[in-house]
Chains A and B, each alone.
Chain A
């Protein structure tokens, strides 16, 4: 903590030269906010494994590199890649290396009152709205990545769903990295007013075999009776570094659903923090795959502040080769949150002798009239199941594959949004051995 790494010092030193290019540079309140965040970052640097919350994830490889903020000349976008990951029936906003690209985006035909705007534009159109919301969902003390994002965010989106609006078409935020050593620092603000409903997909992809850093932060503010479904589809390149933080604040009877599918990236950390009000509901589903030397860390924190909250969490991991998976789930039931009903499950499949999983599901309960539970399992495929399939004439590798696929598919099936589900399924199959055979079974 005391010795700030060289790269941290350089980000801070170079900050003045890029500050004027960042959106909202003319707004004094935003300048003040960024300066504060920068000094926090300069003091803390990126988190270290000495911090309990980062015990199993060492971000030193990120510190050893120096990623460059958005350059004046954008890289060339691989349209084929974009087409593959673009959801056909969604409003799509494309962010190239952290900057909004109007030409590739398409979100015309919005219903009345609904606001979807790149943050750079929103700061001009609705400065007061952004000012009152920015950072409002982040309850905990911000760590290095969050202050880094606040200081450096290059763009993002502002979504406002006015009261009693149901947005039929989902919104896709498609992030693509096109240049080596680039930096994608986006900041999204999603506001669902009372009784509004919407669905948003965050997709993260990268071109070729690039090495870059994504450090995104997404804030979701859910009003009374409102419902938001958020998906994260992460298929970064095999050399990419990824930090994605999601901060959710729920009002009474609000409902939040999150589906987290993590496939790519060399060093990945996903954080989801949810704060629940009275009788609000939260559903967190996650699937993470790791192979090669991937390190995938999923960190969730659910705070039940008020009574009658419900939370359900299921995370499944499949780790092969030398991959390392981390799951840290924190469930906190505060003193007033009587009648809370919460459950957390983490199941992990280790496919190779060199794979590793570190899991830490925590319950912290300060109220008495609650029903809380958690469960963890780690293991390999059930031998009896493999035997059953083999007794039916299926060879061993296929049997194992079939079971591995079934283990993961259970999470895919929870996604209701059809075109996303098929995209996830395709991505999943392509990352499992014997992809063609699996397709045949389906």
Chain B
């Protein structure tokens, strides 16, 4: 056991490498939230009237709501008046036309984070939309994508340039009356990414958004909207980091995906917000609403997430399987360490005939962390021959952490087939012994077993991300027994 404890120590003792602060001049709103804030925000964004109306409707609805308490997490009440709802690098105000005009400090930041925007211009690969605090600072490969007919831009640009598309789809998956945090987001979201893949187009490259919180006392509220028309295909990646701070920062995002006939959207997340220090001080509250609608026949939405950061994670990427034969997938690895809390899972709502969904969730809990899987599989009456398979496995490292499973299964259709399996255990002594006996060190053995535990999910990630995720897992848990 002592060797195990030691490895655990090493594992837990890692540093958060993305915890630096970038010193840029910013425009920001003083803390506080009222209708004035929202009007000001909308004015800065030069938004059309319908957007402002929508935001205000959301805000008025939000005032009638209470912060939800059902999740298996605990945190002191959030003072929504103490948050600044807008913070943007100053240079952005004039709107750089190309990367050359971008503040070098910002370019440096993204380079440090391993997202060299400038090089990305030259090396073919992934198109990146970089979101810094409240605004998108750069989007690469815009022209090349435009050739294919793909629209990939910041949400603000989309509102200006494609207001009809925004108006048609915004809020159709996550309405402004949804849950507490989604409603707040609807009222105050400042930017995000917008993707539109027209009929029959297969997006020529991976799209990616990199979210960075930099300013103190701000909340980040971004909104992503991805629309894949008939026969379109897109793979989208999302990454996030934040500086190390003692106070908690709120990140309440909304992601809406819409897949029409035979379209396919693959959405991958590597979430590495600052998780707080060893004593559980600071860190990001990651309260996110992600939902995809498989509107068309044979459409497919696949969520893959690797959650290693955030003090508290509260997210349930879901699929509404409306079209007949549509497919929903959810692959998740959630790692919590120290005092992190995660309450995450998915919702699969089967409406159409012959719809199928797969849920693979792997939770790893270490230190004093609490890790919960919470999922809903709902088969409605019309969903003949619907199929669901769910597997939730939890790995426990240390005797002060917790792993919980809260699956909800609601079936109203007899031809449906639903299977749910869950297991919780620690790394078995036998497995460790076997590896060590073959000459592996304790640490290597643990890392190998943990990687094997997560493999089913990692193989769903795009290659570049799979490597990053594996490394991240290593840093988060290196040497731990589990």
Contacts and interface: CB of A to CB of B under 8 A. Distances in A.
Interface in A335-370: 335, 338, 348, 350-353, 355-370
A370 B426 CA distance: 7
A367 B394 CA distance: 12
Contact of B408 (A348, A355, A360, A370): A360
A365 B418 contact: no
A94 to B, nearest CB: 40
Contacts of A371: 424-425
Given A352-B414, A365-B404, A376 B419 contact: yes
A362 B410 contact: no
Interface stretch (B88-96, B136-144, B395-403): B395-403
- A interface residue count range (under 10 / 10 to 19 / 20 to 34 / 35 or more): 20 to 34
A356 B404 contact: no
B422 A379 contact: no
Nearest to B409: A359
A372 B425 contact: yes
Contact of A335 (B400, B407, B409, B412): B400
B257 to A, nearest CB: 27
A419 interface: no
Contacts of A358: 408-411
A373 B423 contact: yes
A293 interface: no
A373 B424 contact: yes
A377 B420 contact: yes
Contacts of A377: 417-420
Contacts of A379: 414, 416-418
Contacts of A360: 406-409
A214 to B, nearest CB: 27
A364 B405 CA distance: 6
B421 interface: yes
B413 interface: yes
A363 B424 contact: yes
B415 interface: yes
A356 B399 contact: no
A379 B426 CA distance: 32
Interface in B351-402: 379, 381, 394, 396-402
A61 interface: no
B405 A363 contact: yes
B70 interface: yes
A364 B415 CA distance: 31
B409 A378 contact: yes
A52 interface: yes
B425 A350 contact: no
Given A368-B398, A369-B426, A371-B425, A376 B409 contact: yes
B405 A362 contact: yes
A377 B390 CA distance: 10
A358 B410 CA distance: 4
Contacts of A362: 404-407
Contacts of B424: 363, 365, 370-373
24 contacts: A350-B413, A351-B414, A353-B381, A356-B412, A358-B411, A359-B408, A360-B406, A361-B405, A361-B407, A368-B396, A368-B398, A369-B426, A370-B396, A370-B424, A372-B423, A375-B420, A375-B422, A376-B407, A376-B420, A377-B418, A377-B420, A379-B414, A379-B416, A379-B417
Interface of B: 70, 72, 379, 381, 394, 396-426, 482
Given A376-B420, A377-B419, 5 more contacts: A362-B405, A369-B426, A370-B426, A376-B418, A378-B416
